[in-house]
Structures are given as C-alpha cells and as structure tokens.
C-alpha cells in the first residue's frame, strides 16, 4: 500500500506563524546544521504509542508531524526474518503471500516497551528501569502466550493482525515512511517551504509472531539483511535529496570548491563553529565542520540526512558498511545530553550556557539532543523552549495526553512551535496602520519576553547588540541608544552589529543584557538586533538596512516560492539553454521550463535568484 503526504485539514498555521517559521529558519541558515537545535519525536510514541501499526493512521500521523514543523525523527525498525524486510511492527508478520496470510497470530498480556536509541536491551525480560533523561522508561515482563489466529481487519490492500499487544498491518514497512517523506519533500521543494530533515534509525530484531514478548538471540548470518534488503535499499526514493557521508567527506576535503564557493559573505557558513587547515596548494579544508542549511538546500539540492542510532544485539552481525554511502554511523548525527528538568520546565542541569566559557570547543553542543520522557502537557512548551535556548534539540518521547498525532495533532503542533528560539508568541506582529517603519527587531529581556524578540518602530532609540569576533557567544552592548538606521555605527572597536543565530547565541546575549541591566534597567526593554523587514513587509533579513528579500523579484511582487535546484544543476541548465538557442530551438527551450505547484495551489517557475 503506497502512502502519501496528506495532513489533516485542521493541521496548519496562520500567516503570522508562517512568517515566524520562515524567519527562524533563515536567521539560522548560515550556522552549521550540527549546531542548530530542532524539535524531534520518537515515532514509536508520537504515532504508535497505542501499539497500532496501521497504514492509514501512520500516513496521517507522519503527515501531521511534518506539517507541525517537526524536523528530526527517531524511527524504530524491526528486521522480520520471515519476510526478509524491515517493518515498523515489533513482531514478525505471518509469511506474506500476495495480500493474504494464513498463519496463526499470538496474543499476550504484556506491557509494550518504548525503544530508545540509547538503550540496547530495551525489550530485555524481567527488568524495570526508570531513567531521567538519557534513557526511556522501560517496563517489560516475561509472560505466557496463547496462540490464536486473529486478523483484526482486511481489505484488498492490507490485512491487520493482532500480534500480542500489537495490531500490525502486513504492508507497513520502512518503505512506507520513505514514501510519505518523499511525497512531502516534493510538495515542499521550494525556497520558502524547504527544510532539512533528519532520521535516526534504531535497528531491532523483531520477535516471532508466536512469542511476541520474547527477546530473540542473535540470528545466523544467512538470516541477516543483504545488499538488496539493507537499509540502503529503502532509501532509493529519497536518494536524490540525501546529504550523505560521502558528500560530507568530499565537501570537507576542499572548502574552496564546496562551502566557500558561493563567495558572498551572507552566503557563507559561519566559520567560528568549526576548525580549518590549509592544504599544500593554499586551499582550505576541515575535519570537523558541517555545512549550513543554505548550502545543503540551495547548492546541493539535498533535504534529508539519515543516521544509525542503536543496533540491537540480535542484529550485531548486520554489516552497516552496506549503507555507509547513504547512512551515517551510530552517534554521528546525534549526541545525547544528560539533562534534568524541574517541575516548571526549566533545566536544572545540562544547559550548554556557561557564563565562563565562550569558545565553541568548550561550549560544544554539536548535534546535542535530550529526550523528554515524562512531562505534563502544560509544561511541555516550557521544556521545549528551554531546551532550545540551551542549545539542545528536544526529543519528544511521550504520547501527549495518550493521543497520537493522527488522533490529535494540536499538542504536537504546539510542541513544534514552542521550539522556536527567536520570536515571542504572536510575533512578528504587523502594524495595522501599515506603517513602513514598524519593521525592526528587538531582543527584550524583561519578564514578559525573557530574551525573545518583538517588532518595534525603527526610529525609536535603543542600545545595540554587538558581537565580538572569534566566537558566536561573545556580545557587547553599545554605550549609546540610537535608531535602527544608526545601529551599525555605534558598535565599538572590532565588534559588529549582529543578530543571534541560534537559541544558545540568544541566551548568551540575553544574559549579557541582564548583567548590564544592573547599571541600566532600561536595557530590559530591548536592544536592537540586526533583523529587519524594511525591504518587504514580513520578509525578515539579516543583511542590514539595504538587505533585500530573497523571495521577491521586486518590492511590489508577491512572495515567490521558487523550486529548489542545486546551483551546479542550474548552471548546466543555463549552458544547455544557450546551446539550444544557438541551435534555433527556442521553442523547445521554452517548453522545457520547470513548472511546479505551490502548497497554496498556485504555480511557480524557475530557480532561486
């Protein structure tokens, strides 16, 4: 059964939220992706928390999560030795024969265990483990199973079996996940809606259908996946949008021909986040750097990274080198952070903010992620916000209010939106009087905003946020209050007027304001940051007074979604077009223009300007 991206009609955000998400993405778009936190979910909880693994529900759930701006996904997949495939169901399915199966299923009264990528023996019998942050709650027990033949539902496409505590479709596999993501990536392949996503894949050995509560031992090599059934084979539908380990190593080997090739300062990755060295020919390379989102999308045309998480001992013989050209090694695109969360959602320990450290190699939050294992819904937003401002991706490992995202998407939308570090709730606000001066951003440190941003009239006087060179976390404040247009002129010495690019950068600025406010309480009301929409309303840029909106051809044009094509491919298209014109085949050239349909239903053409 082929699945598609099809979110519920009630899932979506208003125009203000659209601007918020877009500007939040853009302000971080030059920061290497490993230092930008994003909301993450365990699919085992968000979609399958009720042990129902059914195609239609999975399609709706995944679609709703993607529409809710969730960017990172931890996915448990189970190797089914009976059918030689990776399923989402934790139990092997009866042997498939077309769309039907004639094998007994087993029922058992067991408590299902969440699968965490940091708990290798998540289904070990007779254990009870309660973890604070870096492990999930694991509760399982040895039980007696009673075999019975149970098909819960059946149609021409699929059958759903009762397998112990699980209801599992015989067609829901890792390929189903790939299909939904592939459709979503095509639907959002434009400069406004495009985002880089990531998967962390936990590999498990499925229990047998006659003993669904029993953890299996390591299987013989002959029963392990091979090159045609490995994880790599499930990524064919998204292979053209993968940013792979091979590409990363190639890019790192010569930055002059990769990340630095773009040339313009506002297009380059922020080099303070990684170390570089000179090659014999004078070119620059790096061993630890990652590209920024702009480069991945606009230059490489990529949208997805896939990495391994935990691999069960039952699959210890699995040869991950079969997948190494597409899938990152375990721990490569995540780093678990041990945190403790107070009753009010604040972090008691684990925050990367350190008043005494400003160097990236000391405040190293690369790929940091922390599970949220148990939280009351009223404080979930605070937890998500506080993890983001501490430089950590928040990994939702609970089924909110007992409802999966296909049943009730609203709290998952709230979770995704609360991970925004920049704007305060309801911002950026438009001036109802259409005043062209209500277009500049303040970072406000009072109790109402606590470091979040709001829109202000650009002609009003505030002190200015100035960043020191050499570290993304060192800030100074100007001694004079000025209107926004003079902000560049009052940053002293070698400091420059800047905007915080990540939640952690913003936290360092926020705490600098709190410190200086001991001598000037007026600072709490706001400091200018280099973020404005003076060029075009609702199009926020980080390039100062003369910055132009990248989504408009001119100031009177509406915002334009332009299809994402790698710039190299665009250059090839240009060269081919020139040759076509020289060959007097202009009509064919006109007919070959790419035409795509935007999410709102209108058409757009072309490549990013």
Residue 562 lies in a domain: no
Q: Are residues 123 and 186 in the same domain?
A: yes
The alpha-carbon radius of gyration of the chain (Å, integer) is 25
Structural domain boundaries, residue 571: 567-605
Mean pLDDT of 69-88: 98
Q: Are residues 152 and 96 in the same domain?
A: yes
Among 338, 299, 370, 388, residue whose Cα is nearest residue 69? 388
Q: Are residues 48 and 131 in the same domain?
A: yes
Name the burial class of residue 220, with classes exposed (0-12), middle (13-18) and buried (19+) by CB atoms within 10 angstroms of its CB. exposed
Asked whether the beta carbons of 369 and 393 are under 8 A apart, the reply is yes
The pLDDT tens digits of the residues spanning 261-319 come to: 886 777 789 989 999 999 999 999 999 999 999 999 999 999 999 999 999 999 999 99
Residue 4 lies in a domain: no
Q: Are residues 220 and 163 in the same domain?
A: yes
Maximum CA extent, the chain: 80
The pLDDT tens digits of the residues spanning 308-364 come to: 999 999 999 999 999 999 999 999 999 999 999 988 889 999 999 999 999 999 999
DSSP tag of 228: T
Q: Are residues 519 and 598 in the same domain?
A: no
The pLDDT tens digits of the residues spanning 461-519 come to: 999 999 999 899 999 999 999 999 999 999 999 999 999 999 999 999 999 999 999 99
Q: Are residues 149 and 58 in the same domain?
A: yes
Report CA-CA distances (Å) from 541 to 17, 25, 119, 275, 547: 17, 11, 43, 27, 6
Residue spans of beta strands (DSSP E) within 170-311 = 197-205, 277-278, 284-285, 304-311
Residue 124 in this model has a pLDDT that exceeds 80: no
Residue 1 lies in a domain: no
Residue 553 lies in a domain: no
Q: Are residues 122 and 224 in the same domain?
A: yes
β-strand partners of 278: 284
Measured between alpha carbons, how far is 216 from 207 in angstroms, rounded to an integer?
Answer: 6
Residue 6 lies in a domain: no
Q: How far is CA 309 from the centre of its chain?
A: 16
Q: How many helices (H) and strands (E) does the chain have?
A: 11, 29
Q: Look up tokens 């298209």; give the residue.
A: 573
* Count of the separate structural domains present in the chain: 4
Helices (H), 517-593: 567-582, 586-591
- Rounded to the nearest 10°, the torsion over CA 307, 313, 317, 321 is 10
Among 180, 200, 184, residue whose Cα is nearest residue 306? 200
The pLDDT tens digits of the residues spanning 382-392 come to: 999 999 999 99
Mean pLDDT of 63-90: 98
The pLDDT tens digits of the residues spanning 512-557 come to: 999 999 999 999 999 999 999 999 999 999 988 888 898 875 444 4
Asked whether the beta carbons of 374 and 137 are under 8 A apart, the reply is yes
Residue 392 lies in a domain: yes
Q: Are residues 71 and 149 in the same domain?
A: yes
Neighbouring residues of 33: CB distance < 8 A, sequence distance ≥ 6? 196, 290, 291, 292, 293, 296, 305
Peptide bond into 230 cis (omega under 30): no
Asked whether the beta carbons of 169 and 53 are under 8 A apart, the reply is yes
Residue 39 in this model has a pLDDT that exceeds 70: yes
DSSP tag of 199: E
| Residue 564: pLDDT band with limits 50, 70, 90 | low
Q: Are residues 198 and 326 in the same domain?
A: yes
Q: Are residues 371 and 455 in the same domain?
A: no
The pLDDT tens digits of the residues spanning 127-149 come to: 222 233 333 322 222 233 334 33
Q: Are residues 193 and 310 in the same domain?
A: yes
Measured between alpha carbons, how far is 533 from 324 in angstroms, rounded to an integer?
Answer: 43
Asked whether the beta carbons of 372 and 337 are under 8 A apart, the reply is no
Q: Are residues 396 and 481 in the same domain?
A: no
């Amino acid at each position: 059964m082929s699945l598609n991206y099809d979110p519920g009609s009630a899932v979506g955000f208003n125009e203000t939220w659209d601007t918020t998400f877009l500007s939040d993405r853009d302000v971080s778009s030059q920061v290497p992706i490993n230092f930008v936190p994003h909301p993450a979910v365990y699919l085992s909880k968000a979609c399958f928390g009720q042990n129902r693994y059914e195609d239609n529900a999975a399609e709706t759930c995944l679609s709703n999560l993607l529409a809710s701006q969730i960017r990172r996904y931890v996915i448990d997949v189970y190797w089914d030795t009976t059918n030689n495939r990776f399923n989402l169901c934790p139990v092997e399915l009866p042997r498939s024969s077309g769309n039907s199966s004639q094998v007994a299923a087993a029922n058992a009264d067991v408590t299902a265990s969440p699968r965490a990528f940091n708990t290798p023996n998540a289904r070990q019998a007779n254990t009870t483990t309660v973890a604070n942050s870096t492990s999930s709650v694991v509760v399982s027990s040895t039980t007696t199973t009673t075999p019975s033949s149970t098909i819960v539902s059946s149609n021409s496409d699929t059958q759903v079996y009762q397998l112990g505590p699980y209801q599992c479709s015989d067609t829901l596999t890792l390929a189903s996940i790939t299909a939904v993501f592939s459709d979503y990536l095509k639907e959002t392949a434009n400069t406004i809606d495009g985002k880089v996503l990531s998967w962390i894949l936990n590999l498990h050995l499925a229990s047998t259908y006659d003993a669904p509560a029993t953890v299996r031992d390591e299987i013989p090599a002959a029963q392990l996946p091979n090159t045609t059934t490995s994880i790599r084979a499930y990524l064919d539908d998204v292979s053209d949008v993968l940013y792979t380990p091979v590409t990363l190593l190639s890019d790192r080997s010569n930055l002059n021909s990769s990340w630095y090739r773009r040339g313009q300062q506002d297009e380059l990755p922020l080099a303070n986040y990684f170390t570089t060295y000179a090659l014999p020919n004078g070119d620059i390379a790096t061993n630890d750097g990652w590209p920024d989102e702009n480069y991945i999308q606009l230059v490489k045309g990529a949208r997805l990274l896939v990495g391994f998480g935990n691999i069960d001992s039952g699959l210890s013989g699995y040869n991950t080198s079969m997948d190494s050209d597409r899938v990152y090694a375990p721990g490569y695109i995540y780093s678990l952070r041990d945190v403790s969360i107070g009753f009010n959602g604040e972090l008691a320990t684990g925050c990367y903010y350190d008043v005494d450290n400003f160097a990236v190699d000391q405040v190293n939050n690369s790929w940091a992620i922390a599970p949220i294992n148990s939280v009351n819904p009223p404080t979930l937003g605070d937890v998500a916000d506080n993890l983001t401002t501490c430089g950590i991706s928040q990994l939702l490992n609970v089924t909110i209010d007992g409802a999966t995202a296909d049943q009730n998407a609203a709290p998952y939308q709230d979770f995704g939106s609360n991970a925004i570090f920049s704007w305060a709730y309801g911002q950026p606000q438009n001036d109802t009087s259409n005043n062209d001066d209500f277009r500049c951003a303040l970072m406000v440190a009072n109790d109402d905003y606590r470091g979040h941003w709001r829109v202000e009239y650009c002609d009003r006087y505030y002190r200015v946020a100035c960043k020191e060179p050499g570290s993304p976390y060192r800030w100074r404040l100007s001694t004079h209050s000025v209107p926004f247009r003079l902000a560049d002129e009052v940053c002293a010495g070698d400091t420059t007027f800047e905007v915080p690019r990540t939640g952690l950068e913003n936290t360092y600025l926020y705490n600098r304001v709190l410190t200086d406010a001991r001598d000037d309480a007026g600072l709490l009301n706001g400091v200018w940051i280099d973020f404005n929409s003076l060029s075009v309303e609702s199009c926020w840029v980080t390039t100062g007074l003369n910055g132009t909106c990248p989504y408009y051809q001119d100031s009177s044009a509406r915002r334009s979604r332009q299809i994402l094509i790698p710039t190299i491919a665009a250059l090839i298209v240009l060269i081919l077009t020139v040759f076509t014109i020289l060959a007097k085949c202009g009509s064919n050239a006109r007919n070959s223009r790419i035409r795509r349909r935007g999410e709102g239903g209108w058409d757009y053409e072309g490549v990013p300007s």
